[in-house]
Structure formats: structure tokens, C-alpha cells
Structure 1
Amino acid sequence: MSERNGLSNEMMVLSPCQDGASTDTAVPMERGRERGAYWSKLVNLRSSTRAPVEWVFNLPTTRLIVLGVFCFALALTGGSSRFDASQIAILRPLSAVLLIPTLWFLGRDDLRRAPLVLVLAGLWLVWMVLQLIPLPADLWHQLPARDAIRDLDAIAGLDGVSRPISFAPFRGGGSVFAMTVPICALLMALAFKLNSRQLLLLVAAFGVFDAALGLLQVLGGAQSPLYFYAITNRGFPVGVFANENHSALLSAMALIIIIRLGLSASAALDARWLRLAYIPGFILVLLVVLLSGSRAGLVFALIALGVGAIMAWFERFGSADKSRKRGMVSDARISRLLSAVALTIPFGLIVAFLVLDRTPAFEDILTRSSFEDLRWSIWPLLKDMMQAHWLFGTGFGSFDKVYQIYEPTDLLMRAYVNQAHNDWAQVVIEGGLPALMIAFAAIIWLAGSIRLIWSRRKAAAIFWLAIFAILGAASLVDYPLRTPIIQSLALWLALVLADDKNG
């Protein structure tokens, strides 16, 4: 009988409790279950590497930390377009690492927010990679503008050497790696579900920080330690960039964005301190533009002021969505009034600077002819290069190497040309017809989106016309989209445009 009871007690522990079982036998059985569940959970935790990673990535502050690290690194190291800038040794690997948590948070629904933007960015990257794939020697020699190299191969006995489309494969590989920065910015905005207002605030924050740093650079003089890059415009407010023209472009874009944010500000959307910061931030950015030596920046700033006035008129008197206006709280009216007042102050500053002859950019316009600039002298060479390489291009990042083939002796000087100073022409030279088709597809999407927005919100349509017109015009005489900062901010603005179109 005792053996049977002992066997029965063991069975009670190892098997489910039967109806009518006593309490003293159920307690050992429950403890056994708890021990089994504990050890099973511990084994699963040790065998799975995802459990602790998932716990870290789902912390409430993780997304904010990742975004903050990226923006901080982008602002301090992403202002140069040079392939040999030492700062890219930090920015590109860091962006690649930050892609890991970004992809962790990225969901399928996030990709539906702006599918065409993702497709065009992906096609651009694919073509960059295709330019680096070695081609058979016979096929490569049949590509346009390879006659001289074919003759040299014949002399050196290198007829069978396979080469990629790119004239400078090492530079092409660097250009592909450089895409980690704007791609990280794009996917981060999607994965972290940053809405349109948050993205606009980020772009405006970059502009204000750039202006504040530029003002400190001017106060510190040409030897100020606040200049981040070895090759830069010392003595001028370049801010987070190496080129004063790029800083002035960001300032002009920030002016228009701050106006839009100010016109739509409300207690439901912005904190009180933020609403109060719009006007001083606007004046700071405009003041630094006037202090810069960028002629294009001064023109773009004047355009931004005019566009801001038109936007304010449409917001107050235009045929905007009445229901949206009625939904605004009373603080929005105050913000609009303050924004309208802010528009009158900058015009007074401009008049004062021009009358007192204190604007370096205005002095530059009067004392130097634009046609004396080197960018106009090399235009005939750019046309020859486009005619020779328009089909497949010379490879991204190869411009300065290919330019040396076409450079005449009368343009040889101490200063050298590392960019075409005309991004539209350089896209054709480096990327050929495929890159041009992708760029035109983007322009068609932009035009269609703005046209649709115009039917609903005139002020928003004018905003986008001004933003992309300024960016496109700047690319005619410079290369702003070669800098990681402008690349990333442009993609963020493209997401905001997609939201405006869909909303």
C-alpha cells in the first residue's frame, strides 16, 4: 500500500492534477511546473540572441537617441562634398551602423508612405553599382570616348583587360558607400514615423544651428577653431559646411520653412517656447545670410522673403481649407500675426545693410563680374564632356579625373576644378542617360505633386515651388547636393511633399 501511495504521489507531481486531488499533492505539482517553466525560459533566453536585443530596441528613448546621434554626426561631419575629407571616415561607418536599429524598426507599412521616393533612390543606387561591374574588353572598347584608352591598351599589350564603365572605380566605390548617409536619413524618417512637422522642424533646426555657428565663426575671425574643414571659406559664415554657398542655400530654405511653421503654429502643434522661437530664429538666419559673401545666397534670401509674404497672404486671405482654419486654436492667430510682423523686420534690415554698404554679397556683385568666374570659363568643356559621355557616363565621383583629359593649357592654374559647379551637367557627365532619366522622373513627380497640392492649398504649393526652385537653381551654379547634409535634408523634404500630396 505504501509503494502504491509513493508511486501515486510521484505521478501527481509529473502528471496533471486529477479531479478530487488533495491540496498537499497539488502544491508539489504546481512547484514542479514553475521550475520547468523557469528553466525553459532561461534556456530560450540563452539560446536566442534576439531577446536582449529586442528589449533594448524597444526602450522608449532608443529612437530618440538613434536620431539624435545621426543628426549630431551629420551636422558636424556632413558639410563637405570632397571625397578625401577626413570627416567622412566617421560619418559613413556611423551611418551604416545606425542602419541596423533603423531597419529593426522599419515595417512594411512604413514603406508605403512614399514608395516612389524609395524606388527612385534605389534605382540611383543600382545604377551606381552597375557602373562598377567590369565589362569584357571588346565591349568596353566600343563604349563612347574610349578611343585614346583603346590605343594605349594596344601599345601596352592590355587589349584583354576588363574594365567597368567608371573611369575611376575607386571613386565610384566611395560614391556608393556615401549613399549610406542619405539612405539612413530616409529610412530613419520612415522607421521612426517622423511626421511632416517633425521633419520640417529638423530641417529648420539645421538651418538655425548653421546660422548660429556661422555668426560665431565671423566673430572669431579667419583663425576661429569653429571651422570644421581644412579647405573652407575662412572669414565667412560657412556654418556646418565647407562652402559658404551651401550654407547660404540652407539658410534660404530654412527661412521659407520657418515661415511655413510660423504660419501654421498653434498650441496643439507646438510648445509655447517653440512658437516664440520662430521669429528670433528667422531673424538670425537672415542676418547671417546678409553677412555671408554668397551672391546666390543673397538672391535666394530675397526670394524667400517674397515667397513668405505670398504664403502669408494666401494663408490669411486665400482659398485655403476653411475647416482647417476653423480647427485652429486662438494661439495660431497670434503666431500668424507674429510671423507677419517678422516679415517686415527683415526688409528693414536689408535696406539698412544695402544703404550702409555692409553686405559682402552685394559688394561682390558690384565689384566682380559673374562671367569672370571659373565656372563660366569651363562651360564649353562641360558641353564637350556631356556630348562625349551622355549615354553611360564616366562613373560617379570621376569628374575631376575625366576633366583633366579635357582641360586646356590656358586654364591651368594653382586652383583646380574638383566639381563641375553645375550639378545638372555633372549628372549627365558622370551618370549618363540612366541618371538623367531618374532625375527627370523625380522632376515629373515633383511637378505632379505640387500641381495636386495647388488645388487644395495654394500656400503649400507656393512653398514647394520655392523650395525646389531654389535647390534646382543653386545646382545650376554649384553642387549643394554633393554634400551629405543637403542630400539628407532633401530626402526629408521629399517625404514631407509626399505627405502633403497624400493629405
Structure 2
Amino acid sequence: MAIQLVALAIMALNRQAVSQFFREAPRALVGIVLLSLALPLLQIVPLPAAIWQALPGRELVSQTYDIAGIDGDSWFTWSVDPVRTLVAFCSTIAPAAIIVIGWSLSSPMRLRLALTLIVASLLALLLGAYQLSTANTSGILQAISPDTNVLYATFSNRNSTGIFFVIAAIIVAALPSAGRSGLLLAQIAAGSLMVIATILTQSRSSMALLLVFLAFLTLRLGAHFWAARAPARKDAQTPKGAAQASRKAVYLAAILGLAMVCAIAASLAFGGRASSSVERFANLDTDRTEVWEDGIYVAQRYWPVGSGTGTFDEVFQIDESLEYVSLARAGRAHNDYVEIAIESGLLGPLLVLAWFVWIGMAATRRTGDSDRWLAFGAAASLACIALQSGIDYPLRNEAMLCVAAIMIVLLFPPRRAVR
């Protein structure tokens, strides 16, 4: 609540920037943002009994009314739990504020925003290192039962921690090429620390997403090296400066990369923390596929309108298969696309598709800009979130929602500074 109230206050203090977004931003982007905010709000608008009772799956609500002695002709909402849906709407306030105000930021300010994210990731890593040094008996910020060998940092879920560090590594690789050896070395060291931090989270999905980081880093270095060898290109640096920067980048990256590979190999050979992380790939459970199977059935019950944003935990328990019931409670679908289909019916997946299309188009339009690699890094980071959403729920917490919003801001075209 504190974060959401601060976000509202920031928008109130930056009314010009908010107005500028709605005046100047592309209509498609404005429309997607407004629809993302409006969907949960529409789901909590009271409807006459003749309408809400006709919605799929609402016979359970009618039965509950009868048991509770409530008049069945009372008005009720599209959502089967309007309070949870209201909470879900409130979680969109902070990322919406980042996107709306971020539109007016100049390119240097967006670079500063990216650097701030990297500094935050380094501070989170320091906290995680302290946690691990105490076997996670101290420094944990949430009321959880932590694994003694897992790096949690500021999160309570290893998968969220892992993808946060993957995104930080990609943004480090996307930063403008440093002209001095010291800055370049710091950039490579920070990226290496992010990779190590991801491995220490023991998140299988996040470790797999490091392949996206490696692919992006390869393209980044390859493009930089090609630009240095073709000074006639419009976006090339001076021949000497470009060649030196390229050689430094390639040599330093190769040396540090080799050192990191050797360290990970040694950890694997002697049973270190990296070994524990890799061993988790040999223990693939089937619980998630069982939840997905039941989740698809639940989505069909409420299709095509959905049960209401944020209501998964209420409606899933009703239709969970008895043969899949265990001591653990499926509080999430562990597949955001299935969960969105349950909660928002047809509109939710269509809205997700609209975001995918906009992100792809925004990235392709940045190919000729001087800071295009920062935009490409943001697109790659959002792709990581989209991939992990297939087996987890990275955007079901406020922090990662705000990180995703920052990536959206980095995709915006260059703008002049606004007073």
C-alpha cells in the first residue's frame, strides 16, 4: 500500500508528464495501458442479478447466496471475489506510474534508470551474500521457511530472485560500450556477478534463461566487433577507438568468462553450491503439470469471461482433482497464461497478445537509434519474463511488475529532456 500511495503521489506531482503521455504517446500504447488498468476495474462493477447469474460458473455464487440466506436477486460483480480483484488492480498502479512518467524521460535519464536498476541488483546481491553466510538464518525479509543454500536477496521466491538477476545481467551487457578499460572491466565484472547470483538461487528456470543472456551477449559483442571493422557505417565509431574498444571487450570478456567457467566447473567437481544448483535439473517434479491440467478445466468452467483477476486461489480449490490433492496448496497455477485465462477469460490472453505485439514492434523500430542495444536488452528481458511465465508467475509480485515497467520505458523512442 505504501508503494502504491507513493506512486499516486508521484503522478500527482508530475501532472505535466502524465498529461504528456496521454497526449503524445502512441495511441496503441495508451490503449493497452488503459485496458490493463480497466480490466480489473470492470470486474468489480456491480451487475444486476439477471446479468451476473447468466455468467459461466456463477451457479456456485448463487448456491452460496442461498446457503447464506442472501437474496439471490441482489446485485453482484463480474468477479467472484471483488476484494481480491481490487487488490490486483492496486498492484498495477506502481508499474503504470513508471510507464506513464517514463515516457517523458530523455535518453540520458533512461540510461540513469538502467544504471539504478543495476546498482539495486548489486545491493540485493550483497544482502543475499550476507543471508547465505548465515545459512539464511538472518537477513531474510519475508516470513518464509528458506532453504539454507538458496540465495533469496529481497524476494521470497527463488524464481523471482533468479530472473531479476538474469534481467540485470542483460541490462549490464546492453549498456553503451565503455571507452576506458576500468569501466569496461567493471561492466564485465558486474555481469559475471549477476550470472553467479542466478546460479546461487538454484532456480532451474532462471538458470535456463541464462542462455538468453549468453545469446544476447554474443550478438552484442559481435555487432560491436563488426562496427569496429566497418568504420564507414553511419553508426560506427572512429576506427582506432572502435577497434580498441572491441578488442578490450572481446579479450576481457573471454578472460573473465573462462575464469567463471573454471570456477563453476571446480564447484561442480567438488560438490559446491553450483553442483547443488545443477543437481536440481535431475529432480523435475510433475506437480506443475497436474496443476496445469486442473487449471485448464477451471478456465473452461468460467470461459469466456473468467472468474475475476486475483481469484485463482478461490476457484481452483473447488475443481482440483482428488488424485492430485497433496499436503501442498496450489496457491498459483505456476503458468501465468493458464491463470490469466482462468481469471480474465478471453480478454486476458488478448491483452497479453497486445503487449507482445507492441513490444516486438517497439524493439524493431529502435534498430537505427544510438541507444538501440539498451532497447534490445529490455526486449530480451521481457522475453525472459514471458518464457518464465510459462512455468511460474514472475509478474505476480510488485517488484517484478515494476522491473517489467522499467523495461517498457527503455523501449520508448529517444526523446528530448522535458523541464
Instruction: Calculate the TM-score normalised by the size of structure 2.
Output: 0.85
The alpha-carbon distance between structure 1 residues 460 and 175, as it changes in their structure 2 partners (threshold 3 A), is: closer
Larger deviation, residues 407-416 vs 140-149: 407-416
What residue ranges of structure 1 are gaps of 5+ in the alignment? 1-88
Q: Match for residue 89 of structure 2?
A: 176
CA contact (8 A) 1:454 1:460 kept: no
Inter-partner Cα distance in structure 1 for 2:21 and 2:289: 47
Deviations 1:326-383 (A, max 9, x none): 36994x66554444345322354235424424312201112x1x2x242222111111
Q: Equivalent residue of 1:397, what SS? A: coil
The alpha-carbon distance between structure 1 residues 328 and 234, as it changes in their structure 2 partners (threshold 3 A), is: farther
- Percentage of matched positions with identical amino acids: 20
CA contact (8 A) 2:80 2:311 kept: yes
Deviations 1:403-433 (A, max 9, x none): 1111233443332122211111111111222
- The alpha carbon displacement at 1:137 in A equals 0.8
Q: Match for residue 230 of structure 1?
A: 143
- The alpha carbon displacement at 1:107 in A equals 4.8
What residue ranges of structure 2 are gaps of 5+ in the alignment? none
Q: Match for residue 478 of structure 1?
A: 392
- The alpha carbon displacement at 1:473 in A equals 0.7
2:365 aligned with 1:365: no
In the alignment, residue 402 of structure 2 is paired with which amino acid?
Answer: S
CA contact (8 A) 2:171 2:374 kept: no
Q: Match for residue 381 of structure 1?
A: 294
- The alpha carbon displacement at 1:461 in A equals 7.8
Q: Match for residue 304 of structure 2?
A: 391
Q: Match for residue 18 of structure 1?
A: none
CA contact (8 A) 1:102 1:184 kept: no
Q: Equivalent residue of 1:222, what SS? A: coil
- The alpha carbon displacement at 1:392 in A equals 1.5
Larger deviation, residues 115-124 vs 246-255: 115-124
Of 323, 336, 349, the residue aligned with 2:234 is: 323
The alpha-carbon distance between structure 1 residues 469 and 128, as it changes in their structure 2 partners (threshold 3 A), is: same
2:291 aligned with 1:291: no
In the alignment, residue 340 of structure 1 is paired with which amino acid?
Answer: V
Inter-partner Cα distance in structure 1 for 2:231 and 2:378: 16
Q: Match for residue 356 of structure 2?
A: 443
Q: Equivalent residue of 1:376, what SS? A: helix
Q: Match for residue 304 of structure 1?
A: 213
- The alpha carbon displacement at 1:299 in A equals 1.3
CA contact (8 A) 1:265 1:275 kept: yes
Between Structure 1 and Structure 2, how many residues are aligned?
A: 404
The alpha-carbon distance between structure 1 residues 316 and 218, as it changes in their structure 2 partners (threshold 3 A), is: same
Deviations 1:72-129 (A, max 9, x none): xxxxxxxxxxxxxxxxx43223333333223365452785255533331211111110
CA contact (8 A) 2:20 2:104 kept: no
In the alignment, residue 202 of structure 2 is paired with which amino acid?
Answer: G
In the alignment, residue 342 of structure 2 is paired with which amino acid?
Answer: I
CA contact (8 A) 2:366 2:413 kept: no
2:190 aligned with 1:278: no
Inter-partner Cα distance in structure 2 for 1:172 and 1:321: 56
CA contact (8 A) 2:381 2:407 kept: no
- The alpha carbon displacement at 1:388 in A equals 2.1
Inter-partner Cα distance in structure 2 for 1:99 and 1:456: 29
Q: Equivalent residue of 2:46, what SS? A: coil
Residue pairs, 1:10-409, within 5 angstroms: 89-103=1-15, 106-108=18-20, 112-113=24-25, 115-154=27-66, 156=69, 158-191=71-104, 193=106, 195-224=109-138, 226-231=139-144, 233-235=146-148, 236-261=150-175, 264-266=177-179, 275-317=184-226, 322-326=233-237, 330=241, 336-344=246-254, 345-354=256-265, 355-356=268-269, 357-358=271-272, 359=274, 360-366=276-282, 368=283, 370=284, 372-409=285-322
Larger deviation, residues 171-180 vs 408-417: 408-417
Inter-partner Cα distance in structure 2 for 1:151 and 1:407: 19
The alpha-carbon distance between structure 1 residues 158 and 499, as it changes in their structure 2 partners (threshold 3 A), is: same
CA contact (8 A) 2:95 2:401 kept: yes
CA contact (8 A) 1:145 1:388 kept: yes
The alpha-carbon distance between structure 1 residues 500 and 454, as it changes in their structure 2 partners (threshold 3 A), is: same
CA contact (8 A) 1:210 1:240 kept: yes
Deviations 1:51-83 (A, max 9, x none): xxxxxxxxxxxxxxxxxxxxxxxxxxxxxxxxx
- The alpha carbon displacement at 1:237 in A equals 1.0
The alpha-carbon distance between structure 1 residues 337 and 220, as it changes in their structure 2 partners (threshold 3 A), is: farther
Instruction: Calculate the TM-score normalised by the size of structure 1.
Output: 0.72
The alpha-carbon distance between structure 1 residues 448 and 95, as it changes in their structure 2 partners (threshold 3 A), is: closer
Backbone CA RMSD of aligned residues: 3.1
CA contact (8 A) 1:314 1:459 kept: no
- The alpha carbon displacement at 1:159 in A equals 1.7
- The alpha carbon displacement at 1:250 in A equals 1.3
Deviations 1:264-283 (A, max 9, x none): 3347xxxx975553122112
Q: Equivalent residue of 1:323, what SS? A: coil
Q: Equivalent residue of 1:414, what SS? A: coil
The alpha-carbon distance between structure 1 residues 378 and 105, as it changes in their structure 2 partners (threshold 3 A), is: closer
The alpha-carbon distance between structure 1 residues 383 and 208, as it changes in their structure 2 partners (threshold 3 A), is: same
- The alpha carbon displacement at 1:141 in A equals 0.9
Which structure has more helix as a fraction of its residues?
A: 1
Q: Match for residue 336 of structure 2?
A: 423
The alpha-carbon distance between structure 1 residues 327 and 450, as it changes in their structure 2 partners (threshold 3 A), is: same
Larger deviation, residues 190-199 vs 486-495: 190-199
The alpha-carbon distance between structure 1 residues 151 and 393, as it changes in their structure 2 partners (threshold 3 A), is: same
In the alignment, residue 317 of structure 1 is paired with which amino acid?
Answer: W
